[in-house]
């Protein structure tokens, strides 16, 4: 593979690779150890024997394990606990960790020392047997040793406490509330006894601490109850005195004055409604009397039995009058009598209606008098209510003070009774789920077989290391093997009189940018769809082109880096020229060049794309079909022929088709077109699709005029061979190579669409 970080110097032959010579190899090591196998085996056996002896001399330890279940939630025996409980998982884990640390607290361990008499156990620094033996010996000669002082006893307890701490290991099981308590001792029964004693002591201490906390809280609350009771009594006395002084009399909810005011207001509203009703009834009666309508049609008349009887008689008389009028003459006595009877009944009904009107007037007068009296009483009650409202400001203040004192006193009293009851309650959920049993096997030291194996391995390694070190340090370095050849004698060369000047430093070839054109980056369209309503669209000529809406893909970023490298190679030119070369005869180079142009146009560059492949001219065939070009979109640029006119596309890219004729004329025409475009300044970048491989004289001329090169490598061929072929063909122009594009598009898709034309 090529290394672009190394200078190019093809004239200088590569130096032969030097091999390092080692003074010691694996074969010699194996031979050395095989020669010393007896000594190594003897050392290994000696090491195993020493290890077993050391293991036998060690004091055995026996470990007993007790298991505790420490539930931080505890039992819910009362509504309010003394201490808040942990609600989340992290808080519960912290509570369990704290309880595990409390197991080895000094208060718990000191009780274990006292219960198990560890201050007299030699294993824990007590020395009770030695002291008893000394007392017996002194008693034989008549001497009695003095009793140990308090400081001596305290020192012994502290020593036992330190030793017991070293014998205890607390392990908390992950993601659980189970705590393992491990206690080791030289006596297995003692280890089990200490583990059980420690768990029982911890549970007892936990219950005592809860009872002590409840007792202390009860004492603190009770000490405040007397003061709070006296404060409540004073507040209630002041409230009652103020009510009596300001005549605040009422029920529990409202005052009597407020109740009277509300009742008077309701009665006044009812009286006003009755007055309005009476007035409306009178107005209706008066209106009926003034009009020619039937006065007996008012509701009072309809409800009156007297008027109903009179109206019935009136109807009968009218009926009789009508019959007699038809039979008798107008002057007949019977007819006149009947007519008089009708008039009398009508007058009687009118008089009855007048009595209704007089009654309505009397009711209206009485209702107005009643409303006026209620209004006067209400005004008096309003004045009294205003006076009471002014005095109620101080009353409400006294009531708030009394309510606050009452609430505080009741809260303290209730809490005091609760904490007093909690002294006798055990809310702890911790319990022993596994008592420690007498261990049957020792925990230390391990089995003698393991000691023997470790001693055997260490003995063999020590002997082998010794023999290897002795071989190198005392025997010297090994002589060179016979297969090594002596260096050839150096032939003296004549020294020139004038030393040649040092060669100029070789320039480094800039490492090209590598890009991958994949199926995920492109979209395929049907062939022969070229012109749209606005002009030629290069994304619809049948070639796979870049997807729209993906501005930050790795392919586009690599193409931007290539354009930046082209700008550096152009050294300030207004319109750099980049040529695309590639191995093979397929259209993969042209497809890559088109996508490069589309990416540049998408970033805002004005691109001129020229078909410089005189052999395949794939780009010209795609965009210069007869009848497909839009004459209105032809530009002014020309490559020496009217047929090869610049085609402006809707993608922001101008395409110049291939020049008809031989390769030399085409190359000259392309060069003149580039110079003409630079002079006009209508483009930002020129892309040459070609020349094709192998390079001809005209192709090399085109590459000499280009500022940068991009190699297209199809993955259908061997990439290394294709790259070597391109570099060999480029020769000195390889320094212009700024990028390599690996075309990984599926050629099968293009083959399936080749030759198909769609409208």
Q: How confident is the model at residue 444 (pLDDT cuts 50, 70, 90)?
A: confident
Q: How confident is the model at residue 629 (pLDDT cuts 50, 70, 90)?
A: very low
The per-residue pLDDT for range 322-344, each reduced to its tens digit, is 888 888 878 888 888 888 888 88
Whole-angstrom distance, CA of residue 435 vs CA of residue 197: 10
Taking the C-alpha atoms of 273, 279, 285 and 288 in order, what is their torsion angle to the nearest 10 degrees?
A: -100
Q: How confident is the model at residue 578 (pLDDT cuts 50, 70, 90)?
A: very high
The per-residue pLDDT for range 146-166, each reduced to its tens digit, is 556 778 788 888 888 888 889
Taking the C-alpha atoms of 310, 312, 315 and 317 in order, what is their torsion angle to the nearest 10 degrees?
A: -70
The per-residue pLDDT for range 308-324, each reduced to its tens digit, is 777 778 788 888 888 88
The per-residue pLDDT for range 16-57, each reduced to its tens digit, is 343 344 445 688 788 888 888 898 999 999 988 998 888 888
CB 691 within 8 A of CB 581: yes
Higher pLDDT, 131 or 169: 169
Does the structure show a pLDDT above 80 at 611? yes
Q: Residues 507-523: what's their mean pLDDT?
A: 81
Does the structure show a pLDDT above 70 at 730? yes
Place of tokens 């006065």: 295
Q: Residues 60-80: what's their mean pLDDT?
A: 75
The per-residue pLDDT for range 662-706, each reduced to its tens digit, is 778 888 888 888 888 888 888 889 998 888 888 888 888 888 889
Residue 143 is predicted with a pLDDT of 57
Does the structure show a pLDDT above 50 at 441? yes
Residue 424 is predicted with a pLDDT of 67
Contacts of residue 467, Cβ cutoff 8 Å, sequence gap at least 6: 32, 33, 36, 39, 40
Question: What separation, in Å, do the N-terminal and C-terminal C-alpha atoms of the chain show?
Answer: 47
Q: How confident is the model at residue 425 (pLDDT cuts 50, 70, 90)?
A: low
Q: What stretch of H or E contains 286?
A: helix 256-290
Higher pLDDT, 212 or 88: 212
Q: How confident is the model at residue 500 (pLDDT cuts 50, 70, 90)?
A: very low
Q: How confident is the model at residue 362 (pLDDT cuts 50, 70, 90)?
A: confident
| Dihedral pair phi/psi, residue 422, rounded to 5° | -70, -15
The per-residue pLDDT for range 102-124, each reduced to its tens digit, is 888 888 888 898 888 888 888 88
CB 455 within 8 A of CB 51: yes
Residue 261 is predicted with a pLDDT of 74
Higher pLDDT, 390 or 252: 390
The per-residue pLDDT for range 532-556, each reduced to its tens digit, is 556 788 888 888 988 876 666 788 8
The per-residue pLDDT for range 170-199, each reduced to its tens digit, is 988 777 888 999 999 989 999 999 999 999
Residue 17 is predicted with a pLDDT of 40
Helix, strand, or coil (residue 65): strand
The per-residue pLDDT for range 635-668, each reduced to its tens digit, is 656 655 555 678 888 888 988 887 666 778 888 8
Q: How confident is the model at residue 756 (pLDDT cuts 50, 70, 90)?
A: very low
The per-residue pLDDT for range 720-729, each reduced to its tens digit, is 888 888 888 8
Helix, strand, or coil (residue 329): coil
Residue 10 is predicted with a pLDDT of 40
What is the arrangement of strands in the sheet containing 685-689, beginning at the earlier edge strand?
A: 513-517, 737-743, 708-714, 577-582, 685-689, 607-611, 653-656, 645-648, 634-638
Q: Residues 254-277: what's their mean pLDDT?
A: 79
Does the structure show a pLDDT above 50 at 96? yes
Contacts of residue 133, Cβ cutoff 8 Å, sequence gap at least 6: none
Residue 422 CA: distances (Å) to CA of 75, 604, 613, 736: 12, 81, 99, 91
CB 4 within 8 A of CB 512: yes
Q: How confident is the model at residue 417 (pLDDT cuts 50, 70, 90)?
A: confident
CB 168 within 8 A of CB 198: yes
Residue 87 is predicted with a pLDDT of 56
In terms of C-beta density within 10 A (0-12 exposed, 13-18 middle, 19 or more buried), how is residue 11 classed? exposed
Q: How confident is the model at residue 596 (pLDDT cuts 50, 70, 90)?
A: very high
Q: How confident is the model at residue 632 (pLDDT cuts 50, 70, 90)?
A: very low
Q: How confident is the model at residue 427 (pLDDT cuts 50, 70, 90)?
A: low
Higher pLDDT, 658 or 564: 564
Instruction: State how beta strands 178-185 and 168-172 pair.
Output: antiparallel
Higher pLDDT, 205 or 391: 205
CA-wise closest residue to 356 among 423, 410, 281: 281
Average pLDDT of the residues of the chain = 77
Whole-angstrom distance, CA of residue 379 vs CA of residue 261: 9
Question: Which range among 1-5, 507-511, 595-599 has the greatest average pLDDT?
Answer: 595-599
CB 32 within 8 A of CB 467: yes
Instruction: State how beta strands 545-546 and 522-523 pair.
Output: antiparallel
Q: Residues 563-588: what's their mean pLDDT?
A: 84
Q: Please give the structure tokens belonging to residue 569.
A: 């190679």
């Amino acid at each position: 593979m090529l290394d672009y970080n190394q200078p190019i110097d093809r004239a200088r032959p590569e130096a032969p690779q030097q091999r390092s010579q080692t003074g010691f190899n694996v074969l010699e090591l194996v031979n050395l150890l095989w020669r010393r196998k007896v000594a190594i085996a003897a050392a290994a056996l000696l090491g195993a024997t020493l290890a077993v002896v050391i293991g036998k001399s060690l004091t055995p330890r026996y470990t007993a394990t007790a298991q505790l279940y420490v539930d931080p939630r505890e039992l819910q025996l009362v509504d309010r606990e003394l201490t808040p409980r942990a609600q989340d998982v992290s808080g519960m884990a912290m509570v369990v960790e704290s309880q595990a640390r409390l197991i080895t607290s000094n208060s718990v361990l000191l009780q274990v020392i006292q219960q198990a008499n560890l201050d007299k156990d030699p294993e824990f620094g007590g020395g009770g047997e030695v002291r008893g033996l000394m007392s017996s010996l002194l008693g034989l000669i008549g001497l009695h040793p003095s009793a140990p002082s308090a400081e001596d006893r305290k020192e012994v307890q502290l020593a036992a406490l330190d030793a017991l701490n070293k014998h205890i290991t607390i392990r908390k099981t992950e993601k659980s509330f189970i705590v393992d308590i491990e206690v080791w001792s030289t006596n297995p029964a003692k280890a089990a006894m200490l583990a059980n004693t420690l768990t029982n002591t911890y549970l007892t201490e936990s219950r005592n601490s809860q009872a002590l906390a409840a007792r202390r809280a009860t004492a603190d609350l009770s000490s405040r109850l007397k003061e709070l009771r006296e404060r409540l009594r004073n507040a209630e006395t002041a409230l009652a005195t103020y009510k009596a002084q300001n005549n605040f009399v009422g029920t529990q909810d409202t005052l009597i004055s407020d109740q009277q005011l509300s009742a008077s207001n309701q009665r006044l509203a009812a009286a006003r409604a009755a007055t309005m009703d009476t007035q409306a009834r009178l107005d209706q009666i008066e209106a009926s009397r003034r009009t020619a309508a039937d006065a007996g049609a008012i509701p009072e008349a309809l409800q009156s039995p007297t008027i109903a009887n009179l109206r019935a008689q009136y109807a009968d008389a009218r009926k009789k009058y009508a019959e007699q009028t038809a039979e008798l003459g107008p002057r007949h006595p019977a007819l006149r009598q009947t007519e008089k009877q009708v008039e009398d009944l009508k007058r009687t009904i009118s008089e009855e209606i007048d009595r209704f009107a007089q009654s309505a007037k009397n009711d209206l007068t009485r209702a107005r008098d009643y409303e006026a009296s209620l209004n006067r009483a209400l005004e008096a009650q309003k004045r009294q209510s205003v006076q009471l409202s002014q005095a109620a400001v101080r009353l409400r203040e006294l009531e708030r003070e009394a309510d606050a004192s009452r609430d505080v006193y009741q809260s303290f009293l209730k809490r005091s009774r609760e904490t007093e009851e909690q002294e006798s309650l055990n809310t702890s959920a911790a319990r022993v789920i596994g008592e420690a049993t007498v261990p049957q096997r020792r925990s230390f030291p391990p089995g003698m077989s393991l000691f023997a194996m470790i001693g055997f391995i260490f003995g063999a390694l020590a002997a082998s290391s010794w023999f290897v070190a002795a071989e190198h340090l005392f025997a010297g370095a090994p002589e060179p093997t016979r297969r090594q050849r002596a260096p050839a004698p150096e032939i003296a060369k004549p020294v020139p009189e004038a030393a040649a000047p040092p060669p100029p430093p070789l320039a480094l070839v800039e490492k090209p940018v590598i890009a991958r054109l994949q199926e995920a980056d492109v979209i395929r369209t049907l062939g022969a769809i070229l012109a749209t309503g606005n002009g030629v669209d290069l994304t619809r000529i049948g070639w796979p082109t870049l997807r729209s809406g993906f501005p930050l893909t790795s392919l586009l970023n690599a193409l931007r880096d290539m354009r930046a490298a082209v700008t550096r190679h152009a050294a300030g030119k207004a319109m750099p020229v980049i040529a695309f070369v590639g191995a093979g005869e397929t259209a993969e180079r042209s497809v890559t060049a088109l996508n490069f142009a589309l990416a540049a146009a998408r970033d805002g560059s004005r691109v001129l794309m020229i078909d410089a492949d005189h052999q395949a001219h794939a780009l010209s065939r795609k965009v210069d079909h007869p009848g497909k070009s839009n004459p209105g979109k032809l530009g002014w640029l020309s490559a020496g022929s009217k047929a090869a006119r610049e085609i402006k596309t809707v993608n922001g890219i101008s395409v110049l088709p291939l020049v008809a004729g031989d390769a030399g004329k085409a190359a000259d025409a392309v060069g003149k077109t580039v110079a003409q475009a630079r002079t006009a300044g209508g483009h930002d970048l020129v892309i040459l699709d070609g020349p094709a491989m192998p390079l001809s004289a005209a192709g090399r001329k085109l590459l000499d005029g280009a500022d940068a090169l991009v190699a297209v490598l199809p993955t259908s061929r061997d990439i290394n061979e294709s790259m070597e072929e391109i570099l060999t063909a480029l020769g000195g122009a390889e320094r212009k190579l700024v990028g390599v594009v690996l075309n990984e598009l599926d050629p099968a898709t293009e083959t399936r669409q080749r030759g198909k034309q769609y409208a």
